[in-house]
Amino acid sequence: MTIGRPRIATLAAVKGWRALRHRNYRLFYAGQGLSLVGTWMQQLAQGWLVLQLTNDPFALGVVAAAQFLPVLAFGLFGGILADTLPKRRTLIAAQIVAMVLAFVLFGLSASGAVEVWHVVVLALALGCTNAVDMPTRQAFAVEMVGREDVGNAIALNSALFNMARIVGPAVGGLTIGAFGIPIAFLLNGISFLAVIGAYLAMRDDELQRPPPLPRPGSVAEVVEHLVEGLGYVRRTGIVLLAVLVVAFVATFAMNLTVLMPPLARDVLGLDASGFGFLMAAMGLGSLTAALGIAFAGRTGPRVIVAGAFAMGVFEVLLGLSRSFPLSLLAIYFAGLGAIAMAATANTVIQLTVPDHLRGRVMSVYTTVFAGSTPVGGLIMGAIASSLGTPVAIVVGGVASIVAAIGAALWLRSGLGAAPPADARPPTGPPVPQLTRVRPR
């Protein structure tokens, strides 16, 4: 331990890694990294399993809808829980539930008894867990590192997520090819132990907690809390822009987990390993964008526009491609654009929102980001089932381009305004300007 600390301090001194100077965040980063590899292995295995059971891309859309519909339905209420309950304990409970669900899916698939409705029910249960976990985890970042380093932490989180997106599908595809689908679900269940252990090892006295929000005691108070968070989003131009762009693009263009299995197998003629490498290429592009944001130390709404536009262009190219190498290239740049948009939107919101509204506002972001998948997954799955997977991918790419053009016109009109004075926190550091966010 003593040998490693100087190296960690040196690494944290580099502006791109400065969030790692916080011990609690280092624990989170290590544990979450291992867990996310397992998550991506399960994501790939689940899609391949459903395709084997049904041979219908629409079924993939149904499973995606089941997994993310609870986020759409209950995500805003999860934001209230994030502002009222101890975040670390809430996250531990959510991870334990997700671990149990992974082991159940392993047992069903290993026994040969698994049916599509089992996958749908388990996806629905996982979605209910994510409705609480996602806004809580997003809001927890500032408690681990403080406002000064939260932008860097978000970028590093995106880099970690997308590093796992590279490793998880690649390892998962090879593992499925060698040992079968069930092993991926088993490994994912085991991987949750890493992040649970990380949360348990954190020091409470080093967390930078805001004053807790009083727990609502009636339905009227719950509604009041929801209205307060939604009202802030509506009044704050830059936050509203970020939320709307992410909502539109996530609905129509970010459903590649639904469309990639049939594209890989039926259009490009690939097996599970080839599918894994396609997903890994998308993860590599996403990782490139996340590290670029982390080390550039600046971001802003124009990056949201550029990311959405790049994703759209290269998704159209992906839909038109019949070549594996060209598809790898196209999905790499589509992934780069997607995370440039999503991570920047997340950072812009986190640096704008006052602490007492953080959980509720971040629940709006996570609801539109993940909750758009039920609608989009069904729409794109239906298009793929009736008109073909390439057509669905092209439609999604065009939609992302349209969103980027609309956002650019919005910015030119000057509607991306600073937060209103009455929405800023009464105490604490001022809200930074967002046109150029620099590291300190």
- Token readout for 329 is 């290239």
Q: Evaluate whether residue 297 is within a structural domain.
A: yes
Say if residues 208 and 143 touch (Cβ distance below 8 Å).
yes
Say if residues 164 and 39 touch (Cβ distance below 8 Å).
yes
Q: Which residues touch 323 (CB under 8 Å, ≥6 apart)?
A: none
Residue with tokens 């890694």: 17
Determine the pLDDT at residue 250: 86
Say if residues 255 and 64 touch (Cβ distance below 8 Å).
yes
Q: Evaluate whether residue 357 is within a structural domain.
A: yes
- The alpha carbon of residue 391 and the mean position of all alpha carbons in its chain are separated, in whole angstroms, by 25
Q: Could you tell me which of 175, 189, 137 has the C-alpha nearest to residue 158?
A: 137
The CATH number of the domain where 71 resides is what?
A: 1.20.1250.20
Q: Evaluate whether residue 217 is within a structural domain.
A: no
Greater confidence (214 vs 74) lies with 74
Q: Evaluate whether residue 60 is within a structural domain.
A: yes
What is the overall mean pLDDT for the chain?
A: 80
Query: Can you give the residue range of the structural domain that contains 137?
Result: 17-205+233-423
- The alpha carbon of residue 421 and the mean position of all alpha carbons in its chain are separated, in whole angstroms, by 30
Q: Evaluate whether residue 314 is within a structural domain.
A: yes
Say if residues 364 and 227 touch (Cβ distance below 8 Å).
no
Helices (H), 18-146: 23-54, 57-84, 87-111, 116-145
Please tell me the least confidently modeled range out of 39-48, 199-208, 215-224, 235-244: 215-224
Q: Evaluate whether residue 339 is within a structural domain.
A: yes
Q: Give the span between the Cα atoms of 360 and 354, in whole angstroms.
A: 11
Q: How many residues does the chain have?
A: 440
% of the chain at pLDDT higher than 90: 26
SS3 category, 210 = coil
Which whole number is the average pLDDT over 103-123? 92
Say if residues 403 and 245 touch (Cβ distance below 8 Å).
yes
End-to-end C-alpha distance for the chain, whole angstroms:
28
- Maximum distance among all alpha carbons in the chain? 61
Whole-model pTM: value is 0.68
- The number of C-alpha atoms within 13 Å of 74 and in the hemisphere containing its C-beta is 20
Q: Evaluate whether residue 212 is within a structural domain.
A: no
Determine the pLDDT at residue 434: 33
Count structural domains, the chain: 1
Which whole number is the average pLDDT over 363-380? 75
Q: Evaluate whether residue 400 is within a structural domain.
A: yes
* pLDDT tens, residue by residue, 172-198: 878 888 888 899 999 999 999 999 999
Q: Nearest 5°: phi and psi at 114?
A: -65, 135
Determine the pLDDT at residue 68: 76
- The alpha carbon of residue 3 and the mean position of all alpha carbons in its chain are separated, in whole angstroms, by 34
Q: Degrees (nearest 5) of the Cα angle 424, 147, 191? A: 125
pLDDT-derived band of residue 219, with 50, 70 and 90 as boundaries? low
pLDDT-derived band of residue 433, with 50, 70 and 90 as boundaries? very low
Say if residues 244 and 295 touch (Cβ distance below 8 Å).
no
Q: Give the span between the Cα atoms of 151 and 297, in whole angstroms.
A: 8
On the question of pLDDT at 357 being above 90, the answer is no
Query: How far, CA to CA in Å, does 326 sit from each of 73, 319, 358?
Result: 38, 11, 41
Which whole number is the average pLDDT over 150-174? 79
Greater confidence (222 vs 22) lies with 22
Greater confidence (401 vs 370) lies with 401
Q: Give the span between the Cα atoms of 272 and 120, in whole angstroms.
A: 21
- Token readout for 418 is 């600073």
Determine the pLDDT at residue 9: 44
Q: Give the span between the Cα atoms of 272 and 178, in whole angstroms.
A: 10
Q: Give the span between the Cα atoms of 251 and 247, in whole angstroms.
A: 6
pLDDT-derived band of residue 57, with 50, 70 and 90 as boundaries? confident
